[in-house]
Amino acid sequence: MAIDYSGPVGQLTGWWERALCAQIGSEPFFPEPGRTPVDAKKICQSCEGRIECLEYALANDERYGVWGGLSEEERRRLRRSA
């Protein structure tokens, strides 16, 4: 699974232009089944667009991959607790 850069995310400015994932590619952020997202989460921790990325993922119900430093399950838990 890869980020579709032609859709709404690709049209964003600001945080998306500064996002580390946009500079290195989406592969670490969509790990194969059974693989851990630890590498993606480490990258997210040093990304200045992390908060905006998470807000985007929650607002657009992104169900796959690591967004804003949170995995799919972590975002589901966050939604449930909200």
Mean pLDDT of the chain: 85
Q: What is the per-residue pLDDT for 26?
A: 86
Say which range, 3-17, 24-38, 41-55, has the weakest mean pLDDT: 3-17
Annotated binding site for [4Fe-4S] cluster: 21, 44, 47, 53
The domain ranges of the chain are 9-81
Q: What's the rounded mean pLDDT across residues 14-25?
A: 85
Q: Which secondary structure element, helix H or strand E, spans residue 43, and what is its range?
A: helix 38-45
User: Percent of the chain at pLDDT above 90?
Assistant: 65
Say if residue 59's pLDDT is above 50: yes
Any residues with CB less than 8 A from the CB of 30 and at least 6 apart, and which?
A: 1, 2, 3, 64, 65, 66
Annotated binding site: 21, 44, 47, 53
Global confidence as pTM: 0.79
